[in-house]
Structures are given as C-alpha cells and as structure tokens.
Amino acid sequence: MSLRFPPKAALAVLCLVLSAGVAFARKPVESKHATAVSNPPPAADDSSRSAHEMLLFLRAVYGTIDNWNFIEGWRYYATFRIPGPDSTQVSEWTEAHMVWAHDRPRVRIDNATDSTVVVVTGDSTLVRRDGTWTTDPKVVEPARALALDAAWMVRIPWNLIDWNLKRRLDPPYVKDGPLSVRIDYGPNQDRPAGTQVWVRFDPPSYALRQVRWYDTRSKNWYLMELSGDNVRYKWTWSTNRMVYASDAEGRKGPLVLSVRIEDMQIDNEMPTIVLAPPNAVAVREPADSVKVR
C-alpha cells in the first residue's frame, strides 16, 4: 500500500499484496477471540458447504485455531517497487504497517519517506499529510480503502471461513491438486460489493500461492503471485508478492507492482495508544460501513 497515492492501476492493488506473519505461541488458556468455523446455517447452499469444508483443511498451515485466536496483530515493513514500461524502476518506498488480527478493523501505516500517517479504527479514519491532519475526501477515502485491503489480506484464510460469504470451488478440486476458491462479496462484507476474488492454495504445503480479483474501484482484473515462504509456530507467510495486470480468464499481463515483506513480528497485545495520535482529526464513515472478521 502506498500513502503516496501512485498511478491508478497500482493504487488499486497495493494493500492486497500484504500477508500474515507468524502466529504467537501461548499456554492453552481461554481465548478472547473464539472462532466458530463449522456451524453451517440451515440455508447454506451445497457449493458454499463444499468450499467451506475444504478451507477448513488449511487451518494447520495457518497456525491452527488456538494460535489464531491468540494473535492480536502483526507489525512488518513493506518495500514497494513500481516498474516503468521499459522495466526501469519508477519509484520505491518502505512503510511500517501495524494490523490488528480480529474484530473491527484497526490498522496503522507510517510512511517515513513523506511522513504520511493513516489510522483506521472501526468507522473512523485519521490521515496526516504534509504535517497536518486532513479531512479531504480525496485523501481520506483512498487511504481508508487501502488500509482495509491490508486488514483483509493479512487475515487469509481465516476470514474466508465464514458462512456469510458466497464461496465456490472454481475449478473443482482434484485430489493432490491445487485448491482454488472463488468468493463473491455482497453488501456489508469485507470487500466492496461486487468484488470477485479467487484464492489458490497449492500442494504440497497448501500455502497461498495466488490471488486473482476483479477490483470494482478501478474496473480492472489483477493477478498476484506469492513466493518465498516462511514458517514459524505453524504459521506460513510469503515474503515476495508480484502483482500483474490480468483478465477475467486469469491470463497474466504486465507487472504492476512488486512488494517485499520484512521483519514480520507478532504480538499478543498490540499498543492501541498508537491508534489515537495527538491532535488527530477523525473522519467517520456510516455506522457498520465495514465488517472485517
């Protein structure tokens, strides 16, 4: 994600290249973030049931339920590179990100290059640029959208194990083959209504290898490939993300953005004081404007 607000094509994909860090190991005591994953509603359709059951098999790759419930959030550095048409580098910058794991979205991004700060807490958004806190919608709205993208990406696959989501195995799963799930987002869900996302988990580890989506804001398709896996406390995450232009069939086009995630840290108690910087001016969205799980 860039707080510099780069060209439109890159802006739409920046936060989606971020992924989760390591899970926190603790003694098995009662968690304050209990996760219900296997109680289907009576009206659940067969396609969502099949996809849900397959997603449950991924829990061991991403920290198991106990570790996930104890994660409060992640801290990491993200270095972004936008290439030019002749493969030269147009720009590069590094940001510090803090993303909370559960409940309503809480995200903080600090860009040391241009001293921009973005803080999202539920329906409130704080943005500091050029030394002042701003309420300009042209600045605040894209910053909020990008922060919410980061919260969505960092929680995969746990935010996909949700009976409120419409999910499909697409293409159908074949034994020992990749697991590809399509998610169609509706109103008041984690992504803008109308967003379609395909997530693909590949054998033998079944870690996340690809995300393909139609972005309703830019009206474009994108394809992200993930590599360079790390594992700690049974949690798997990728260091490298390469984002390409794409089409509805998933054909890979030009490289749009590359990102490297470094110094991934985990906390069981995140410092919420950083979400209330001095003299900050909050811009509030309508109540229940997002439902990040």
**Mean pLDDT, the chain, as a whole number?**
83
Joined tokens for residue 200: 């693909």
Summarize the confidence of residues 41-53 as an average pLDDT.
77
Percent of the chain with pLDDT strictly greater than 70: 81
> Which of 182, 239, 255, 188 has its CA nearest to residue 213?
182
- Does 255 score more than 50 pLDDT? yes
- Residue 87: what pLDDT? 65
- Residue 19: what pLDDT? 37
Query: Which is more confident, 227 or 7?
Result: 227
pLDDT tens for 23-33 read 333 333 445 66
- Does 103 score more than 60 pLDDT? yes
CA dihedral 131, 81, 202, 233 (to 10 degrees): -50
pTM: 0.82
Summarize the confidence of residues 102-112 as an average pLDDT.
91
pLDDT tens for 54-84 read 999 998 898 888 888 888 999 999 999 998 8
- Residue 237: what pLDDT? 83
- Does 20 score more than 70 pLDDT? no
- Residue 268: what pLDDT? 86
What residues form DSSP beta bridges with 172? Answer: none
- Does 43 score more than 80 pLDDT? no
- Does 266 score more than 90 pLDDT? no
Q: Which residue has the tokens 């001095």?
A: 278
- Residue 24: what pLDDT? 31
Class of domain 8-24+46-284: mainly beta
Q: In whole angstroms, give the CA distance from residue 100 to residue 122.
A: 11
- Residue 277: what pLDDT? 94
Q: In whole angstroms, give the CA distance from residue 27 to residue 31.
A: 10
Residue boundaries of the structural domains of the chain: 8-24+46-284
Give rounded-to-5 percent helix, strand, coil for the chain. 20, 40, 45
- Residue 2: what pLDDT? 38
Backbone angles phi, psi at 72, to 5 degrees: -95, -35
pLDDT tens for 109-166 read 999 787 899 999 999 999 999 889 999 999 999 999 989 988 898 889 999 998 889 9
CA angle 19, 26, 60 (to 5 degrees): 50
- Residue 21: what pLDDT? 33
- Does 293 score more than 90 pLDDT? no
Percent of the chain with pLDDT strictly greater than 90: 54
